[in-house]
């Protein structure tokens, strides 16, 4: 069982939270995003923002509102990239200077079999690794594709299609490679990532490092 901290390089800063019944404040501009959402969603959004602010603080940035873009993506301060996930009483945000990473995507999903219609959309006819006790590969594929989705440019997102991503898993190394359609490739055609189980969750992270100059 691993944590995002152990899965990601040290120059990616992480903040996590688990549910202790706590709330978190929203800053100006953020509340509008979830104005019409349920109280549960508003709280979840706020706790994700709280993780993001703590992570940005550890990077040395001042407290700031993190608004959402038109496709739901968090809008990070200049010079920073990052990602947020929340699932079943767990929240996490990962941030890094843009000088280190072009993009990050993190995701947490329940380590459960997927409902048949979702499985069809996400896995299709692709073959999965040999069954292993304690891990549902289809949930890993789903989460890895979600992490890959979050690590991509928002303007490419309308092109996103779960089956359009060819995913290969390395169960021994706990890594994955997500191969994108040519039209969607930015700045790489293949995005690398890592996965792990953590309690009832599958955690995945996709990282696009800045290429050396």
Ligand X SMILES: CC(C)(COP(=O)(O)OP(=O)(O)OC[C@H]1O[C@@H](n2cnc3c(N)ncnc32)[C@H](O)[C@@H]1OP(=O)(O)O)[C@@H](O)C(=O)NCCC(=O)NCCS
Q: Binding residues for ligand X, per CB under 6 A?
A: 45, 48, 68, 71-74, 84-87, 107-108, 121, 146, 149-150, 154, 157, 160-162
Closer CB to ligand X, residue 131 or residue 157? 157
> What are the two backbone dihedrals, phi and then psi, of residue 74, each rounded to the nearest 5 degrees?
-70, 140
CB of 20 to ligand X, least distance (A): 19
DSSP three-state, residue 103:
strand
Task: Report the alpha-carbon distance of residue 135 to residue 48 in Å, rounded.
Answer: 26
Closer CB to ligand X, residue 61 or residue 81? 81
CB of 174 to ligand X, least distance (A): 19
Residue 49 backbone class (left: φ over 0; alpha: ψ -120 to 50; beta: rest): alpha
Which one-letter DSSP state was computed for residue 135? B
- The residue nearest ligand X at its CB is 72
Closer CB to ligand X, residue 39 or residue 131? 39
Task: Report the alpha-carbon distance of residue 206 to residue 61 in Å, rounded.
Answer: 23
Neighbours of 124 (CB within 10 A): 10
CB of 24 to ligand X, least distance (A): 11
Task: Report the alpha-carbon distance of residue 127 to residue 138 in Å, rounded.
Answer: 10
CB of 106 to ligand X, least distance (A): 8
Closer CB to ligand X, residue 85 or residue 111? 85
Closer CB to ligand X, residue 107 or residue 138? 107
Closer CB to ligand X, residue 127 or residue 158? 158
Intra-chain end-to-end CA distance of the chain, in Å: 36
Of the CA atoms within 13 Å of residue 176, those in its CB half-sphere come to: 30
CB of 157 to ligand X, least distance (A): 5
Cβ proximity of 156 and 164 under 8 Å: no
Which one-letter DSSP state was computed for residue 74? B
CB of 123 to ligand X, least distance (A): 12
């Amino acid at each position: 069982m691993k944590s995002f901290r152990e899965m990601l390089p040290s120059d990616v800063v992480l903040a996590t939270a688990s549910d202790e019944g706590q709330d978190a404040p929203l800053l100006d501009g953020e509340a509008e995003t979830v104005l019409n959402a349920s109280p549960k969603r508003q709280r979840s959004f706020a706790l994700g923002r709280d993780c993001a602010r703590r992570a940005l603080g550890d990077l040395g940035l001042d407290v700031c509102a993190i608004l959402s873009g038109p496709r739901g993506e968090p809008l990070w301060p200049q010079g920073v990239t990052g990602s947020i996930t929340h699932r079943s009483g767990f929240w996490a945000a990962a941030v890094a200077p843009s000088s280190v990473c072009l993009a990050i995507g993190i995701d947490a999903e329940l380590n459960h079999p997927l409902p048949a219609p979702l499985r069809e959309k996400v896995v299709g006819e692709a073959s999965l690794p040999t069954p292993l006790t304690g891990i549902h590969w289809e949930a890993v594929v789903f989460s890895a594709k979600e992490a890959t989705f979050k690590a991509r440019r928002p303007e490419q997102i309308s092109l996103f299609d779960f089956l359009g991503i060819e995913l290969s898993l390395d169960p021994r190394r706990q890594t994955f490679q997500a191969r994108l359609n040519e039209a969607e490739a930015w700045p790489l055609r293949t995005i690398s990532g890592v996965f792990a189980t953590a309690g009832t969750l599958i955690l995945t992270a996709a990282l696009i490092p800045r290429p050396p100059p």
